[in-house]
Amino acid sequence: MAQRHMPGVRKHTNCTMREQTKSNYNFEKPFLYLARMLAGDRNVHFVESPALAPPEAPIDLEAQQRVEAEMTAAAAQPLPDDDEEFI
């Protein structure tokens, strides 16, 4: 039976690609394909953005020492022995 006689069977012109999101392998390919189709130009390509230096944040040493002192005091507190309170 030829394909034209089978109901519900259509030829799809969609481009399929395999991408792996965990390793970012071929991650940009579907977006590049879509950009090329929308622009109507097969020569469209993506360029990498420059690596920007992270913004420098001022560190308040007094506040950092206060937080570290609070963490040390919290770690020194004994844990309750009675687990029945939480049931």
User: The tokens of 59 are what?
Assistant: 């560190």
Rounded CA-CA distance 32/40 in Å is 12
Phi first, then psi, for residue 25 (nearest 5°) are: -80, 125
User: Structure pTM?
Assistant: 0.38
Lowest mean pLDDT segment, chosen from 5-19, 45-59, 70-84: 5-19
Q: Is the pLDDT of residue 22 over 90?
A: no
List all residues 6 or more positions away from 30 whose beta carbon is below 8 Å from its beta carbon.
17, 19
Rg (CA), the chain: 30
Q: Is the pLDDT of residue 78 over 80?
A: yes
Query: What pLDDT is attached to residue 47?
Result: 86
**Residue 23: alpha-carbon gap to chain centroid:** 11
